Structure 1
Amino acid sequence: MVRSVLSLFSRRRAADPQALPDAILEALDCAFVLIRPETGDTARQDHVVVQIPGGAGFRFTAANAACAIAKTWPELDEVQVSDAAKRLSRLVAVRQAAHARAAALDGTANARPYLTRF
């Protein structure tokens, strides 16, 4: 059963020329994320810095993610860059949710930077 599912997945990827290469997927999964809570009256969201292996660190926004991915892997086309940025956005959202849970459990968690690797 598992083999048939994996076989179907690999055939679907082979049929899709726009699919992201495995090496890039692995690099995105290994990104470092630093979540530093914003403080003060104007704090609206956490300051999130992402470091992609082989690429530069950047303050996380969807536009910055797409630019960093395009600079790190210039061989990707526009659709692949968009897919990679969406994947990275989902991974960052998961880390931010984990940080929020930690802050809820430990009142001091929100006061210190939170560094994670996916």
Structure 2
Amino acid sequence: MKREPSSPISIMYRRAKSIRYSCETAASRRKLPVRTRRDTMSDKSFSESMKNLRSAADRIGGPATSLEEALALFDAGMKESEYLNSVLEKAEQKIEIFDEQEDSSHE
């Protein structure tokens, strides 16, 4: 059975979902510092961006979506994806620094 290629939006959605899962899994394995109000605010924008990305992906697949609207939604989804990736990269860097500090304190 030949598999059809995935649409760019479904690829983008799956990648964001897998990145989110891996970040949540990594965070749950570590003892992270207490969250500040600033961290909560960035989480709110992260959550909003995920919601916007999902919404764009769902709307692109809809039968009533015109080509122009689909392209605009794709562009908006790519911007959300870039933002989400940057937030996750910053979080990963913080986790790596935390791990290095923890490793050096145990030596």
TM interval, shorter chain, is: 0.3 to 0.5
Q: Give the TM-score normalised by structure 1.
A: 0.35
Q: Give the TM-score normalised by structure 2.
A: 0.38
- Structure with the bigger percentage of strand: 1
- Structure with the bigger percentage of helix: 2
Q: Which structure exhibits the higher relative contact order, with contacts defined as CA atoms closer than 8 Å and separated by 6 or more residues?
A: 2
